[in-house]
Amino acid sequence: MNKNSGRIKDMCGKIKEEASYPEAVLWWVTRVLILTCAFINKSEAAFYLAVFAFTFTADILRAVFPKLKLSYRLQSFICFLALVSTVTGLGFGVLEKHPDFDLVIQLAGGIFSGALGYYIAMALRTPKNKNESLFVTFFTFCFSGTVTIFRKLTEFFSDFWFGTNLCHVEFVEDNHWLYRICGLAMSPEAQRPLLDTDEDFIFSIIGGVLSAAVVYLKFRLKSKELFEGKRKDLSALFRGILPRIRDKIELEIRKVSEDTGIFDRLFWWCIRLCMLYAFFEWDNRAEATLMLANLIGTFAITLVHLIFPRDSVLSKISYKTQTLITVIVFLGSYGGNYCEIYYIVPRFDLFLHFVSGVLCVLGGYYIALTLVKLKTRKDSLLISIFALAFSCFIMPAWEISEFVGDFIWGTSNQGFYWGPTEDSFFFKAFGHGVGNTQLYYLFDTVYDVLLAMVTTVITFIALYIWLEYRRKKTVNILASKVTTEKEKVTC
């Protein structure tokens, strides 16, 4: 008992040190207002109580992981986000009167979710790492996508189980801003309930970009690197450009050989040639155009290496990542659409999302390993969380790309045709729900995200265990070498 009371006193002392008086007032005003909303709206009380518990996230993390030294400032961001979205938007009915306020909530959510990622990365970062600014910036951006995914899943299941209307799945009118910009010609009527979810993804990602930009500028201003650039003579810049390009290409060819084996390279070019043939041969020009875009995507890592200077961190990302991208493209674009596996095996789409969770975590791992060297237990956790966040960021990005493709070309990548059938796993696992029946149109998107989340979390845990095992093994080998050297000196 005395030990627990001592920990509580220490926690209160830390709060006084790290948070200002106005921030503490914000926390408790927000919590009181959330409880008030739960008391007034008893039918949605469970949702408000869940948000109330979420405002104690920083306290819980600090208590469970005291060595992480997470800043209590992240609790201010959580409470502010709850105040804007839950209290103002739902409790005060602003969303009902002004539906476009939801876009403000999503934008603020993306910004403040990125801020949470920044504080977590700063607590786990490797000090004096020369790539620290770039890594923390990427972490901020990807973590914003992670929170977005969890938020949208929470909204969906709240609507499904408690009858709330957080997903706003009512049909969108023709004067919606996306329709005014892109037009209605190729947009199926059944796809319109998905518009709010994908619109939320878009604005959340924009918020994440803004948050990451602020973090990057903060590091650059602090190190005064923005003011250290030297003017270069344009003639000198373009002088000898062809030899530099030749040297760069030769360097990349060597790096490809170092990072990958003959099987990887054969796999890349077999898939690319098959996709190029499919592009010219396919009668469905809308799907063929998407095939061409995916074909270009298989060169993503190569383009990054060629665009950025050889001393840039991004030009050091392993070409193993390109293999992972090619596998996803092969399974989805070529196998699923062109070879019509989606129609032959209806559950192939679920398998693809299940596998994508593993592949995206591995892709995030290779990127993180480029920026952070594995030395301590914190590094193992940091790299693993970055891989998790990267995979979670790919989920909304993937859904947006599917939605935009369906929206512009009239394809059916997002599965808006997926109907409520009694035999589906979703109904067997979760029931019918009590929310809006138009939630049925979101089932495919939510199901895809859930499957990817399952494999993402499993791969994240396995990756952390493997990194810790490898780190401890390296430490033991170094320790044994030191012991052997000492014994030799003694002899």
Per-residue pLDDT of 426-451, as tens digits, reads: 677 777 676 666 677 777 778 888 88
Q: Where are the domains of the chain?
A: 99-225+236-490
Position 412 scores a pLDDT of: 66
Per-residue pLDDT of 213-247, as tens digits, reads: 998 888 877 765 544 444 444 455 455 667 777 77
Q: Please, what is the average pLDDT of the chain?
A: 78
Per-residue pLDDT of 439-490, as tens digits, reads: 777 777 788 888 889 999 999 999 999 998 888 888 787 777 777 766 666 6
Q: What's the rounded mean pLDDT across residues 9-25?
A: 66
Q: What's the rounded mean pLDDT across residues 264-281?
A: 91
With a cut of 60, say whether residue 387 has pLDDT above it. yes
Position 32 scores a pLDDT of: 92
Position 234 scores a pLDDT of: 47
Euclidean distance between the first and the last CA atom of the chain, given in angstroms as a whole number: 54
Share of the chain above pLDDT 70, in %: 77
Q: What's the rounded mean pLDDT across residues 155-177?
A: 71
